């Protein structure tokens, strides 16, 4: 949508009124649930979203009918990437609300920044669509709760993009773990290492002509534009992102929670800081988050700015009375006996295609279960939120293991939900 068309649209409808209408509307559109029907998809957010476009189009009987981005350069690139893989180029739209007006649309893929994940997914559910939402599924715990409610109310299938839940070797590893291959499992450890540089100190700047910055902010309260946020460094600002825990920790913590079969922790701690650079990053670059579930526990060790290449660390490890099961950063696993001898290893295919295909199959046949149904995605995402809240609040959190809510800490509980721009707060 060009700027003139968008201004006309907003003038006619009003930004707040349109947002409220989409958030509050009951699901009313038909869905293509017949195995013979082509899956009609819209992809929102065309950085990560380009990978989803390519993977989805590798699945038969699939069509990308819309690509959506607030950056006109990215929008054009998305149309070309999709158009090169299918017979016709998809329509390009700046505003996802316009996309959701299409009654024949089946699925919205949400790959925009984190502050858009749950709000856009909730809009899609309310419009009667199914959803593939990238991880983390929400910017804050309250949003995640609302997304689960929206999926239930509208009977929408919502899959979170923690694709390892669909990788055959990882599924096999978790099955072996639960069958007792290393005996009773007591603990799981996760690691993330990288070599990120400084994001510098941002300066006020003119908004690029290609960017609709107001729409990029969307549900988040408005802030002045500065030159070191869009399109990636928003990750390291609490206003839009969730730091490395929400960016990469979600993948590992999801596997740990899955393997241990746990739901809510009883206690969460997170220690660390921004040690490597003096810049605008608000989130820690080095930290350790720990989760106590009573009889078992999980830890996540992050080093964003030092690769620790000499340590040869796995992605996730499980420790049982009779040995250890390790998952690599790829799509394989290895099992060791209690003395550290390797006794079994296996790998298999990975990528997004398998995970997306699971969603499509579930849409076409409700007898097929999602590998990462949104409540499961929300529970794992909530571990990331709790770790971040613990770090921001400067101490440990005590959690009600039945509800997952923070107990006896009013300051920490204030971070359960964010403020929203007028008219943009999600409603179900």
Contact 108, 121 (CB under 8 A): yes
One domain, residues 24 and 143: yes
Interstrand relation of 185-193 and 316-320 (parallel, antiparallel or unpaired) = antiparallel
Clarify whether residues 337 and 267 are in a common domain: yes
pLDDT of residue 36: 56
Q: Tell me if 80 sits within 8 A of 89, measured CB to CB.
A: yes
Query: What secondary structure, in 3-state letters, does 311-358 show?
Result: HCCCCEEEEECCEEEEECCCCEEEEEECCCCEEEEEECCCCCHHHHHH
The reported pLDDT for the residue numbered 32 is 47
Contact of 318 with 259, CB cutoff 8 Å: yes
Q: What is the pLDDT along the chain (428 residues), one digit of tens a residue?
A: 443 343 333 334 344 444 444 444 443 434 444 545 899 999 999 999 999 999 999 999 999 999 999 999 999 999 999 999 999 999 999 999 999 999 999 999 999 999 999 999 999 999 999 999 999 999 999 999 999 999 999 999 999 999 999 999 999 999 999 999 999 999 999 999 999 999 999 999 999 999 999 999 999 999 999 999 999 999 999 999 999 999 999 999 999 999 999 999 999 999 999 999 999 999 999 999 999 999 999 999 999 999 999 999 999 999 999 999 999 988 999 999 999 999 999 999 999 999 999 999 999 998 999 999 999 999 999 999 999 999 999 889 999 999 999 998 999 999 999 999 999 999 99
Cβ contact 117:146 at 8 Å? no
For residue 301, report the phi and psi dihedrals to the nearest 5 degrees: -115, 120
Name the pTM for this structure: 0.92
Q: Which of 108, 141, 164 is the last residue of a domain?
A: 164
Q: Are residues 184 and 125 part of one domain?
A: no
Give the number of domains in the chain: 2
Same domain, 73 and 91: yes
Q: Which of 117, 139, 164 is the last residue of a domain?
A: 164
pLDDT of residue 329: 81
Of 109, 142, 164, the last residue of a domain is 164
Return the CATH number at 337.
3.30.360.10
**3-class SS at 102?**
coil
The confidence score (pLDDT) of residue 330 equals: 83
pLDDT at 366: 87
User: Are 400 and 274 within one domain?
Assistant: yes
Residues 115, 150: one domain? yes
Q: Report the pLDDT value the prediction gives residue 4, as an integer from 0 to 100.
A: 38
The token pair at 39 is: 């899956």
- Asked whether residue 86 falls in the same domain as residue 175, the answer is no
Residues 148 and 278 in one domain: no
The answer for residues whose C-beta is within 8 angstroms of residue 384's C-beta and 6 or more apart is: 136, 242, 245, 246, 249, 250, 253
Query: Looking at the structure, do residues 155 and 183 belong to the same domain, yes or no?
Result: no
| 75 and 102 together in one domain | yes
Q: What is the domain range of residue 122?
A: 3-164
User: What are the helix and strand counts (H, E) for the chain?
Assistant: 14, 16
Does any domain span residue 427? no
- Residue 1: the pLDDT is 41
């Amino acid at each position: 949508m060009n700027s003139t068309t968008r201004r006309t649209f907003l003038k006619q409808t009003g930004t707040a009124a349109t947002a409220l209408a989409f958030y509050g509307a009951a699901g009313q559109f038909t869905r293509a649930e017949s195995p013979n029907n082509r899956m009609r998809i819209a992809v929102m957010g065309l950085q990560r979203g380009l990978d989803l476009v390519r993977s989805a189009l590798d699945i038969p009987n699939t069509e990308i009918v819309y690509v959506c981005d607030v950056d006109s350069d990215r929008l054009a690139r998305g149309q070309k990437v999709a158009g090169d893989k299918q017979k016709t180029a998809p329509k390009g739209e700046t505003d996802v609300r316009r996309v959701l007006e299409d009654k024949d649309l089946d699925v919205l893929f949400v790959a925009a920044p984190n502050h858009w994940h749950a709000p856009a997914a909730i809009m899609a559910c309310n419009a009667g669509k199914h959803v593939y939402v990238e991880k983390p599924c929400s910017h804050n715990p309250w949003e995640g709760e609302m997304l689960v409610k929206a999926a239930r109310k509208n009977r929408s299938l919502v899959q979170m993009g923690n694709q390892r839940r669909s990788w055959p070797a990882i599924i096999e590893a978790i099955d072996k773990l639960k069958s007792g291959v290393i005996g009773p499992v007591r603990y799981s450890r996760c690691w993330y290492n990288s070599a990120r540089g400084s994001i510098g100190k941002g300066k006020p700047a003119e908004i690029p002509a290609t960017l609709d910055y107001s729409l990029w902010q969307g549900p988040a309260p408005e802030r002045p534009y500065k030159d070191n946020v869009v399109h990636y460094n928003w990750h390291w600002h609490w206003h839009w992102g969730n730091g490395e825990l929400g960016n990469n920790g979600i993948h590992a913590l999801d596997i740990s929670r899955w393997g241990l079969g746990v739901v809510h922790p009883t206690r969460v701690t997170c220690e660390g800081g921004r040690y490597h650079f003096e810049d605008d990053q608000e989130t820690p670059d080095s930290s350790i988050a720990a989760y106590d579930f009573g009889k078992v526990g999980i830890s996540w060790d992050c080093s964003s700015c030092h690769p620790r290449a000499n340590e040869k660390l796995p992605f996730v490890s499980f420790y049982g009375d009779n040995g250890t099961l390790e998952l690599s950063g790829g799509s394989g696993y290895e099992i060791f006996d209690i003395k550290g001898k390797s006794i079994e290893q296996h790998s298999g295919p990975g990528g997004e295609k398998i995970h997306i295909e699971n969603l499509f199959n579930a849409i076409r046949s409700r007898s097929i279960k999602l590998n990462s149904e949104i409540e499961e995605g929300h529970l794992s995402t909530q571990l990331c939120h709790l770790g971040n809240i613990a770090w921001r609040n400067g101490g440990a959190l005590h959690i009600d293991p039945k509800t997952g809510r923070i107990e006896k800490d009013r300051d920490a509980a204030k971070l359960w939900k964010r403020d929203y721009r007028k008219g943009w707060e999600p409603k179900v």
